[in-house]
Chain A
């Protein structure tokens, strides 16, 4: 799927490395949307620990995350994709907002947020 530019993952199951590997299958991917139905604490198994993404997609478009607690996935994306370059982010109930904002410090042009977002509470 080299021409795919936009990917939506609803409630993806798997370790961060497995999801990262899947994302890396699309070498021209620009937009990424990951939505979880329920808010669950991050749990990370060892499945796919040795998987290395096959490509480094540009990921320079829109990032939409909802009820997202997989901070390790974001850290792996930064490591394996050489940073993040999203220009727009839509974030709701995302655990790693500061990490995302720092990673896209030079590229972020638009941010969508919600006053109903619980983020900022000490106990997530």
Chain B
């Protein structure tokens, strides 16, 4: 991850110049991936908040975040996982999910949006993925990270 981080930018002004959405009057959705939020780490929130702050469109905005199987793996049923999850792996994953919800909450403070969490998994396991994501959201409610987010997340399947 440290190698990748060399490429990430921490300059909000540079991000604002590159992703200035102030002229895009028809913009309705911003999409990203759960994996890239996690990989970017501390930079993710600043990057996404900066981009979001440039949106000038008055249309209702959707923030769509795609979850692949790696992001919901610990929450999948055992017949999908083909093995037990180590307790510390599960705990580490919970922290990752909480950190991601924190990013959403911080973004919401910049501009309101409808949060859509989308399961991007092959058809065979998509229903398991939806249930796994429902568990993640439920944990987020219990742990409190989602209380900072006034909008109720909507869970969808990736359109294929």
Please tell me which one of the listed residues A108, A110, A119 contacts residue B31 in the complex, with CB atoms under 8 A apart: A110
> For the complex, what is the distance from the CA of A102 to the CA of B20, rounded to whole Å?
9
**Would A111 and B21 count as touching, CB distance under 8 A?**
yes
Question: What residues of chain B lie closer than 8 Å to A104, measured between beta carbons?
Answer: 24
**Would B19 and A97 count as touching, CB distance under 8 A?**
yes
SS class of chain B's interface: helix, strand, loop or mixed? mixed
User: Residue on A with the closest CB to B14?
Assistant: A120
Question: What residues of chain B lie closer than 8 Å to A122, measured between beta carbons?
Answer: 11, 14
The answer to whether the Cβ of B29 comes within 8 Å of any Cβ in the partner chain is: yes
Question: What residues of chain B lie closer than 8 Å to A109, measured between beta carbons?
Answer: 26-29
Question: What residues of chain A lie closer than 8 Å to B21, measured between beta carbons?
Answer: 101, 111
> For the complex, what is the distance from the CA of A118 to the CA of B8, rounded to whole Å?
5
Please tell me which one of the listed residues B7, B23, B31, B33 contacts residue A111 in the complex, with CB atoms under 8 A apart: B31
**Would B27 and A111 count as touching, CB distance under 8 A?**
yes
The answer to whether the Cβ of B113 comes within 8 Å of any Cβ in the partner chain is: no
Please tell me which one of the listed residues B9, B27, B28, B30 contacts residue A119 in the complex, with CB atoms under 8 A apart: B9
The residues in A between 68 and 96 inclusive whose CB is less than 8 angstroms from any CB of B are: 87, 90
- The residues of B with any CB-CB pair to A shorter than 8 Å are 4, 7-9, 11, 14-21, 23-33, 36-37, 39-40, 43-44, 47-48, 51
- The residues of A with any CB-CB pair to B shorter than 8 Å are 87, 90, 97-98, 101-102, 104-122
Instruction: Give 26 CB contacts A-B under 8 Å.
Output: A97-B19, A98-B18, A98-B20, A101-B23, A102-B23, A104-B24, A105-B23, A105-B25, A106-B25, A108-B24, A111-B24, A111-B29, A111-B31, A112-B31, A113-B31, A115-B37, A115-B43, A115-B47, A116-B36, A117-B47, A119-B19, A120-B14, A120-B18, A120-B19, A121-B9, A121-B11
